[in-house]
Amino acid sequence: MNQSIEKSHDISILIVSCDAYSDLWDPFFQCFFKYWKDCKYQVYLGSNKLEYQNPNVNNILVGNDKDYSSNLLKMLENIESEWVLLSLEDLFLSSPVNSAFMSEIIDLAIAKEVGYLKLSDVTPFYFSKNKSELIGELPRGVKYRSGIGLALWNKDVLKRLLIPGESAWEIERNGSLRSNSFIEPFCALSSRLRSNVPLKYKNTVIRGKWSLDAINFLRREGFEDCIPNRTVQSIWSYLYVKAYLFRLELYLLVRKYWYQ
């Protein structure tokens, strides 16, 4: 059997969360198992003291909430696999997952011995003239070269990147800077996959509030009863996020990287 295919099965999916976001767990996993019915990987939910009752979900409890980085390191101690597909509890799958394509992407990443592969549909992407390339290394110094959002990690690389005491935002900023010194490639999907990412999702929560963009999605998926659990993002916050994303789109349009 091809070695990369063998390794691809040594993967766990870790949903990083905390008890304060437990109201998202049921809609998250309903979407997850609805849209990825043939998922072959062990699924873990990391939280503090509360568990999610589902036979297909393994709970990892880290106890009293500390900082994001310390919590995540504790979660990783409970995962034996070499590779971890990391996600957050507010990233709800929104369309069926092509498992064959997902496996192809993962096998490529493992064959390249990457440290990190960004799987989301937000820049940075890998720019290549070769239309057949699906993934590639991001240059050192690129803003958001690594992140804790939707991504495949070599678990050892992730553990070495994390520093106790950091918040999620600090991991995004400082972790990208630290990644520049790693010998392992930090990679992203080809920009040509922008409309065909293997995992399509809806980012439902912005700074603890429902995203305005998510409300119609939640109603479509039958989660209208969940909406009163959280306040909704203000129009000003919405416009700020849209302006920021527009800036990222401009970089993508001209095929340029945003350097730190």
Q: What is the CATH number of the domain that holds 188?
A: 3.90.550.10
The continuous run of DSSP H or E covering 154 comes out as: strand 151-154
Q: Report how many helices (DSSP H) and strands (DSSP E) the chain contains, helices first.
A: 8, 12
Average pLDDT over every residue of 26-35: 98
Closest-CA residue to 159 (of 58, 84, 227, 240): 84
Mean pLDDT along residues 212-220: 96
Q: Is residue 212 in some structural domain?
A: no
The token pair at 37 is 């019915």
* Residue 220 belongs to some domain of the structure: no
Residue 151 CA to its chain's centroid (Å): 4
Residue 40 forms part of a structural domain: yes
**Other beta carbons within 10 Å of 142:** 19
d(CA 239, CA 78): 40
Could you tell me if residue 251 is inside a domain?
A: no
Task: State the pLDDT confidence band at 130, using cuts at 50, 70 and 90.
Answer: confident
Residue with tokens 């972790």: 175
What per-residue confidence (pLDDT) applies to 257? Answer: 84
Q: Indicate whether 236 belongs to any domain.
A: no
pLDDT band at 9 (very low <50, low <70, confident <90, very high): low
Mean pLDDT (the chain) is 92
Q: Residue 111 domain-assigned?
A: yes
pLDDT of residue 1: 30
Q: Is residue 176 part of a domain?
A: yes
The boundaries of the domain holding residue 148 are 3-202
The domain total for the chain is 1
The SS3 call for residue 122 is coil
Nearest residue to 189 via CA among 225, 241, 138: 138
DSSP 8-state code for residue 139? P
Question: Smallest Cα–Cα separation from 109: which of 37, 143, 157, 38?
Answer: 157
In a domain, 233, yes or no: no
Predicted TM-score (pTM) of this structure: 0.92
